[in-house]
Amino acid sequence: MRTHTVIVAALALAATACAPQIRRFPLVEPVWQDADRNDVPEEPSEYYSGLIGDAADQTFFYPLARVWTFPLADDAANVNALDEVPDSAWFENRIGQHDLSPEEAAHGACGDAPPLDPSKGPWLVTGAKPNGANPGFFVKAPDGQRYLLKFDGPKQPTRATGADVIGSKIYWLAGYYTPCNMVVYFPQEIIQVAEGAKAENEYGEKVPMEPHHIDKVLEKAYRLKNGLLRASASRFVPGRPIGPFTYQDTRADDPNDVIPHQDRRELRASQVLAAWINHFDSREQNTLDVWTKAEGRQFLLHYIIDWGDSLGGRWDVDGISRRLGRSYYMDFEHVLVDLLTLGIYPRVWNKLELNDYELFGYLDGDTFTASEWRGGYPNPAHDRMRPNDALWMVRILSRMTPAHIRAMVEEAKFPDSRHTEFIIQRLLERRQRILEEYLTQLAPLAEFTLARRTPGDSRQSLCWEDLALKHGVASKTITHYKLRMRGGEELDQELGWMQFWPDKDHPHRSCVALPIGHKRPSALAPADAPDDHPLRYGVLDIFIHQTKSVRPSSSVQIHFYDLGPGAGLPARGHPATA
């Protein structure tokens, strides 16, 4: 059966009217698999990234090097015709395109593999890092699986380990590659030092491990009343780690790496997730490239790791703790404004108070604004995020239900259930703030589908979901849509238009019969025109009005080939989203 009308692209989003120049998409299926997991004959070299060096580079040298280049705010380079990100060595579509249960969200990267079980000890310590804010060590379980155990430290007990687990579940559910992180409680006696184990001293040197190294780590660990120790256990991922990836440029020794990292949508849009959980430490040192072998091929797989700073992390200096997530460590813009205004310019963070549970620092809800969020220091990919990148992540975030969020937070195993409930509610508050901001400033339509109105009917309905109405951030009585169909050589010939308000019985879900108006695009093409003839090409503009204004709040363009009257539309291809 031939298709009656074939949608080939659903392009988000213009804040106002569409641009006059329209790109025609080819009549082919959208790309859903990037070819970046091809076999690489030679293993790439290891890469080391230091915190101080990277901070200096991103704060000073990288911006200075680009000051005369006048970089354009280009669209992301790795999206398909449906404005979605294909699966790749960087990202795998999960909750954004598939229905995952809360149980799957809770398991995350761990899947169905058995958890680290202290009853099956001992755990052999093969290496230790006793220094730093979150000390820890490497252990090997009796089944041979290796883990990194990290502890909280005395300042905010249970927060860092819980945040590391929750962050890993959230990022995995969104689609990123993450390690399997879990919270474990265990008795101290199952910890044993393996033969030849090494520890890292205060100078970063490897020295033979001695009992005092173990004691130095465990003295900072959180203990329950019954004496059990608490830690986050991060399972080693398959393959050989070769260091972090960067958030800019490409890796010269990886032939699969051809898209500059700052132009990858998943890296740009990760800022939205980082803002949601206040992951201000979202820098390149918290990433990991892993030399992976699968299906007879070897290639790099790119992971994001370590969320221990999230959910209200604090520093020793209270003034800095208030600013985390709102200002860079060295924020020249804020410094300049404060100098020019003699410090009287109002700053939201000056009014922040510690949460009732001091454990979670200054993690706020009603004063949180995602678009103003900043990490510890500039991130090249985050700085390049455009509205359509952010909206793509907001669509993913909107599919994480309260049940998903609860299931993930409960994996933190906070010993006090009040802490669990606090984080669930705070994440829901911050998520709602993200939805309110982006779904009222950008196009909120998603889940586009085409279907026959009735069996045997050649007509079709185009249906979509209004996320702003679904999540209660726009008015059901004011919101309405204006549609315009265009065709012709320059796609400027108006073929029909209409206006309607959402159905009161299901306002967040709307459908409209196609074609719209007195003429369809195929009527402009010759009778024997091939399917991909330019005159069969049409564009449907959907203007979304969320306020009482002549100008729309946002708009979406649906691109399609009209193959003419036929036997209907058989279901094929991937559901379009915009």
Q: What is the DSSP string of 400-430?
A: --HHHHHHHHHTT--SSHHHHHHHHHHHHHH
Pairing of strands 191-200, 123-129: parallel
* CA angle 331–332–338, rounded 5-degree value: 95
Rounded-to-integer distance, Cα 404 and Cα 408, Å: 6
**Is 280:325 a contact under the CB 8 Å cutoff?**
yes
pLDDT of residue 456: 62
pLDDT of residue 5: 44
Sign (positive/negative) of CA torsion 512, 515, 517, 518?
Answer: negative
Amino acid making up residue 546: Q
Structure tokens at 408: 């993930």
Structure tokens at 364: 């706020």
Rounded-to-integer distance, Cα 309 and Cα 324, Å: 10
Classify 263 as helix, strand or coil.
Answer: helix
Pairing of strands 229-235, 146-150: antiparallel
Angle between helices 159-174 and 417-439 (to 10 degrees): 40
Helix (H), strand (E) at residue 382: helix 380-383
> What DSSP line would sit under 36-58, residue for residue?
-----SSPPPP----HHHHHHII
pLDDT of residue 183: 97
pLDDT of residue 14: 37
DSSP state of 89: S
DSSP state of 550: S
Rounded-to-integer distance, Cα 353 and Cα 470, Å: 33
Rounded-to-integer distance, Cα 90 and Cα 177, Å: 7
Q: 168: phi > 0 → left, psi -120 to 50 → alpha, else beta; which?
A: alpha
Instruction: Break the chain into its structural domains and give their ranges.
Output: 5-30+443-562, 53-85+248-283+312-438, 107-237
pLDDT of residue 384: 94
Rounded-to-integer distance, Cα 299 and Cα 293, Å: 7
Give whole-number Cα distances, 517 to 11, 56, 89, 496, 566, in Å: 22, 59, 44, 4, 18
Helix (H), strand (E) at residue 78: none
- pLDDT digits (tens), the chain, 578 positions: 333 444 444 443 333 334 446 678 999 899 999 999 999 999 999 998 888 888 888 888 888 877 777 666 689 999 999 999 999 999 999 999 999 999 999 999 999 999 999 999 899 999 887 655 567 889 999 999 999 999 998 889 999 999 999 999 999 999 999 999 999 999 999 999 888 888 877 666 788 888 888 888 888 789 999 999 999 999 999 999 999 999 999 999 999 999 999 999 999 999 999 999 999 999 999 999 999 999 899 999 999 999 999 999 999 888 899 999 999 999 999 999 999 998 889 999 999 999 988 899 999 999 999 999 999 999 999 999 999 999 999 999 999 999 999 999 999 999 999 999 999 999 999 999 999 999 999 999 999 998 876 666 667 889 999 999 999 999 999 999 999 999 999 999 999 999 999 999 999 999 998 888 888 898 999 988 998 999 999 999 999 999 999 899 999 999 989 888 763 322 233 333 33
pLDDT of residue 453: 66
User: Phi and psi of 201, rounded to 5°?
Assistant: -85, -175
- pTM comes to 0.92
Fold held by 107-237: 3.30.1010
**Is 395:577 a contact under the CB 8 Å cutoff?**
yes
Instruction: Determine the distance from the C-alpha atom of residue 509 to the mean position of all C-alpha atoms in its chain, rounded to a whole number.
Output: 25
Could you identify the residue written with the tokens 């906070």? 414
pLDDT of residue 50: 84
**Is 91:267 a contact under the CB 8 Å cutoff?**
no
Could you identify the residue written with the tokens 């030679």? 42
pLDDT of residue 59: 86
Rounded-to-integer distance, Cα 459 and Cα 566, Å: 9
Q: Is the peptide bond before 122 cis (omega within 30 degrees of 0)?
A: yes
Rounded-to-integer distance, Cα 463 and Cα 538, Å: 17
pLDDT of residue 4: 42
Rounded-to-integer distance, Cα 135 and Cα 132, Å: 6
Rounded-to-integer distance, Cα 565 and Cα 298, Å: 49
Superfamily of domain 5-30+443-562: Macroglobulin (MG2) domain (2.60.40.1930)
Helix (H), strand (E) at residue 447: strand 445-452
**Is 301:290 a contact under the CB 8 Å cutoff?**
yes
Exposed, middle or buried, 524 (CB in 10 Å: 0-12/13-18/19+)? buried
CB contact set of 561 (below 8 Å; sequence gap of 6+): 5, 6, 8, 27, 531, 532, 536, 537, 538
